[in-house]
Amino acid sequence: MRDDAHRIRTTHVGSLPRPKALLDLLAARQAGEPVDDEALGDATRDAVVGIVAAQREHGIDVVTDGEMGKLGFFSYVTERLGGLERRPGAETVYSFAAEQQAFPEYYERYFAQAMMGGTVGTIEPVVCTGPLVYRGQQALARDLENLGAAVGDDRQDAFVPSIAPSGVGVNEYYGSEEEYYFAVAEAMNVEYRAIVDAGFLLQVDDPFLTEIFSFHGYDEATRERRGRMYVEAVNHALRGIPTEKVRFHTCYSINEGPRVFDVPLADVVDLVLAVDARYYSFEAANPRHEHEYHLWETVALPEDKVLIPGVITHASNIVEHPELVAERLERFARLVGPERVMAGADCGFSSQATYLPEVDPTVMWAKFDAMAAGARLASERLVSPAAR
């Protein structure tokens, strides 16, 4: 990923809406209907080619495959790790239960609308019942091959998202949580290394780090202990991988919602910066977090690190004005330097494969256009003598 002091570059978090032809095949397979493997493979490959071209058309510099080959940003891993068991029919406890309890009427409508939106597959509880081992080499190879075919020689400007160890099921096998998370890390290192060895950037997705502080009601000592354990597990999974090839993304697990329990970035920034990554992606565009750019007035960003603040949000169908995008970028650039800022999104726009994402795809592409235009405006101002 080429950092550039003369132009703020653009990227996003990863998940994007899947085309209907692919969703139909995914839905049929999830329903137990016969689906031709070759037809599904062709549809996935075509979707990746199309989504990469669309990202470039709408001004995205550092692209990805849109997670076309995955049903969900974290549920996919249950198909790639041996030792995990799905528990269909078991009650799913969402991580943001505190929000549900505080706003029950809102979330009753929220989940009803989500069901009507045609999400492909369900989020089922997953438990570890045996030794963990990575078995997803074939599926991963297909993902990497599809993205490679779509981007050609520009692999240094393409990233592949992968789940953090903290996002993999519940332990019923290992002697302690720490032992479990390090076993997950050991297995996920296979995926992480393969992504980087293929020439792509690795993005570690970890909304679960902030959940410890936002929703679970732990006391301060427990929050800190679990937070350190999550980071240590991520770093164990990243061992042997050059820091400059790693992006770390964290967010808050909710799309459109009240968000009153979101932990302030200040409470977790030390943990985030302890992750062995070069690039840090986080929410900074929605109204619960936009003010947090002030944090970098007192927190020193290490010299070799780059911020990817969200300057467009996945939590609203309002298209941000390019002038506002530029203003958001300039706030960060004036504090840490324009060469250490990239324009990003708060989170993904289709974390689960669904026919009706919360942000309409036409609106999402308009948001990307606004981000690209705002990045150009900010760049022009920041490199001018007056801006300096």
Whether residue 383 is predicted with pLDDT greater than 80 in this model: the reply is no
pLDDT digit string, tens, across residues 281-337: 999 999 999 999 999 999 999 999 999 999 999 999 999 999 999 999 999 999 999
- Render 272-324 in DSSP notation, one character per residue: HHTSS-SEEEE--SSTTTGGGGGGGGTSPPPTT-EEEEEEE-SS-SPPPPHHH
User: Which of 15-19, 90-94, 242-246 is predicted with the least confidence, judged by mean pLDDT?
Assistant: 90-94
**What's the pLDDT band for 114 if we cut at 50, 70, 90?**
confident
Mean pLDDT of 106-124: 78
Q: What is the pLDDT of residue 387?
A: 46
Distance CA 255, CA 41 (A): 30
Q: What is the pLDDT of residue 91?
A: 58
Q: What is the pLDDT of residue 10?
A: 98
Q: What is the pLDDT of residue 3?
A: 56
Question: Considering the chain, what percentage of its residues have pLDDT values greater than 90?
Answer: 80
Whether residue 388 is predicted with pLDDT greater than 50 in this model: the reply is no
Q: What is the pLDDT of residue 5?
A: 55
Q: What is the CATH number of domain 20-382?
A: 3.20.20.210
Distance CA 255, CA 334 (A): 29
User: Which of 102-106, 117-121, 262-266, 322-326 is predicted with the least confidence, judged by mean pLDDT?
Assistant: 117-121
Q: For the chain, which residues make up each domain, given as ranges?
A: 20-382
Distance CA 159, CA 356 (A): 25
- Give the residue, 155 or 215, on which the prediction is more confident: 155
CA proximity to 341, closest of 2, 9, 6: 9
Polymer length in residues for the chain: 388
pLDDT digit string, tens, across residues 339-375: 999 999 999 999 999 999 999 999 999 999 999 999 9
Q: In what order do the strands lie in the sheet with 170-171?
A: 81-86, 126-134, 170-171
Three-state SS sequence of 164-187: CHHHCCEECCCCCHHHHHHHHHHH
Whether residue 147 is predicted with pLDDT greater than 50 in this model: the reply is yes
pLDDT digit string, tens, across residues 201-238: 999 999 999 988 887 778 889 999 999 999 999 999 99
| Cβ proximity of 243 and 270 under 8 Å | no
pLDDT digit string, tens, across residues 232-291: 999 999 999 999 999 999 999 788 899 999 999 999 999 999 999 999 999 999 999 999
pTM (two decimals): 0.94
Q: What is the pLDDT of residue 4?
A: 59
End-to-end CA distance of the chain: 25
User: Which of 1-15, 62-76, 96-110, 223-237 is predicted with the least confidence, judged by mean pLDDT?
Assistant: 1-15
Question: Per the structure block, which two tokens stand in for 385?
Answer: 């003598």
| Cβ proximity of 174 and 183 under 8 Å | yes
Mean pLDDT of 144-164: 96
Spatial neighbors of 385 by CB under 8 A, at least 6 apart, are none
Question: Per the structure block, which two tokens stand in for 297?
Answer: 């007035």
| Cβ proximity of 285 and 295 under 8 Å | no
